[in-house]
Copies of this chain bind each other. A is one copy, B any other.
Amino acid sequence: MPTHTIKSIKAPTVQLLLTGNELMTGDIVDSNSAMIADLLKDIGLGVTRKVTVADELALLVSEITYMASTSDILIINGGLGPTVDDLTAQALALATGVELKQHPQALTHLTQWAERRGAELNTPNLKQTILPSDCHIIANKNGSAVGFFVRYKHCDIYCTPGVPHELKTMLSEEIIPQITKNLPANLSSDITRLQVFGIGESSLQKMIDEQLPDWPSEIDLGFRAGLPLLEVKLTTNSQKGLTLKAPWQKKLVKVLGDHVVAEIHGKPKSLAEHLLEQLQQQKIKVTTAESCTGGLIASKLTEISGSSMNFEAGFVTYSNEMKTKMLDVPQSLLAQHGAVSEAVVVAMAKGALLKSNADLAIAVSGVAGPNGGSEEKPVGTVWLAWGSIDNIQTVCLLLPYKRQQFQQFVAAVGLDLLRRYQQNLTSIPNYIIERSFPTK
């Protein structure tokens, strides 16, 4: 790919063209374009328009022609495969008025790819080497189809594979560096993410508007609503933004308080991962005693590689009898207070600590619904108990979520309460302020 400098000091306009029948039928959710947009955003570029069409030659030619004339960068995704419905090379050649020919570099790639697999090249495979005559090859580490680059009039056209992990590597290692090299210098970006738990997107927006009204325009604030962790992304594209960032990030963290689980530059982590890192440092073992979450907290912990260092046992005690049998919860407590009660979750947590080798426990019992609620304990009620044997804390929440979302949220709250406990955080989290039950 030739290096060049885009003349305009403005950010170049980027469009995406996605091709594939499977994208039109509803059988596949397109995650590629979000991946592309996300990586472009990291270098300060936005996508202005995205078109998705089925694998039809005439459609593709007409879209390419129009899109190349209205953007600085056009990324075409899909249609590089070996079958007859893969038409990107052919369409691009027609749209830009060049011949198709076999590209020696693509042939070498394909031959080596087949050799590594002990496979023979067949005619459909060879189709992947027939490309527009003036194109530059883009390496594909993970698949048989190379990508390719063409400059047509004022537009840089990148053709990329539809398979997500092939696309991801090609973007990260080849295309994004290439685009970055050509960008005006003032567009390079610096990104930090705050992982936040327990504040909703709109509350968070309101807190920032009210408490940091003069947030500098040099720092772009983005939100990614996630379950359970919300992500706040701070992006700067200028020297001034970079200078302003440290103090403003500090102000923002102060506003959000202990709801900030982590400030990171790299890959986001899950709540369980953050907790386990902490427990590993502190050499603390944790156990779970779950009723309404039915094993979900244990499975969130054991999802993480290396969790066996800090987790040995979990108890899923779904019935009253099993609470007694597995965790020695006294029958009298269950009879007097019911399974969803402070006394019972405390007994569950203590039982789990005594029956396991753990230093720290989380116990939950609640009404996940849709059935089983009562006036006193409506659907959505949950008692949590957590801590070490000599210091067990409790809370009761009433959550407005349906069964599976309720279970996911309770599991996240459980992990967050353990995180706060181990960090000796004393502030009251937003979800307790908003959802305490009975309302205090």
Contacts and interface: CB of A to CB of B under 8 A. Distances in A.
Interface of A: 23-31, 33-41, 46-54, 59, 222-224, 288, 290, 292-299, 301-303, 305-308, 311-319, 321-322, 325-326, 355-357, 368-371, 403-404, 407
A41 B31 CA distance: 21
Q: Chain B CB within 10 Å — which of A37, A48, A312 has the most?
A: A312
A224 to B, nearest CB: 5
Nearest to A306: B371
A308 B370 CA distance: 13
Given A24-B47, A295-B298, A311-B318, 14 more contacts: A24-B37, A25-B41, A51-B51, A294-B298, A294-B307, A295-B314, A298-B298, A303-B404, A305-B403, A312-B318, A312-B322, A313-B318, A313-B319, A315-B316
Contacts of A40: 26
Contacts of A297: 295
Contact of A224 (B27, B49, B357, B368): B27
A318 B294 contact: no
A313 B307 contact: no
A370 B305 contact: yes
A82 to B, nearest CB: 12
10 contacts: A23-B50, A26-B36, A49-B54, A295-B302, A296-B302, A305-B368, A305-B370, A312-B317, A313-B318, A316-B316
A322 B295 CA distance: 16
A26 B34 contact: yes
B41 A34 contact: no
B302 A369 contact: no
Nearest to A302: B294
6 smallest A-B Cβ distances: which pairs? A294-B302, A26-B37, A295-B298, A26-B38, A314-B316, A295-B295
A299 B308 contact: no
Nearest to A226: B27
Nearest to A407: B303
Given A27-B222, A312-B321, A294 B299 contact: yes
A299 B371 CA distance: 18
A368 B356 CA distance: 22
B48 A50 contact: no
Nearest to A326: B313
B318 A322 contact: no
A180 to B, nearest CB: 17
A309 to B, nearest CB: 10
B222 A25 contact: yes
Contact of A295 (B51, B316, B356, B407): B316
A52 B52 CA distance: 8
Nearest to A40: B26
A303 B407 CA distance: 8
Q: Chain B CB within 10 Å — which of A59, A299, A355 has the most?
A: A299
Contact of A59 (B41, B49, B326): B49
Given A295-B297, A314-B318, A318-B312, A49 B50 contact: no
A296 B293 CA distance: 11
Given A25-B41, A311-B318, A357-B321, A299 B296 contact: yes
A113 B45 CA distance: 39
Contacts of A29: 29-31, 34
B295 A403 contact: no
A374 to B, nearest CB: 15
Contact of A355 (B31, B33, B326, B371): B326
A185 to B, nearest CB: 23
A250 to B, nearest CB: 24
B52 A26 contact: no
A381 to B, nearest CB: 16
B49 A51 contact: yes
Contacts of A357: 319, 321-322
Contacts of A325: 313, 355-356
A254 B289 CA distance: 44
Contact of A294 (B38, B59, B303, B315): B303
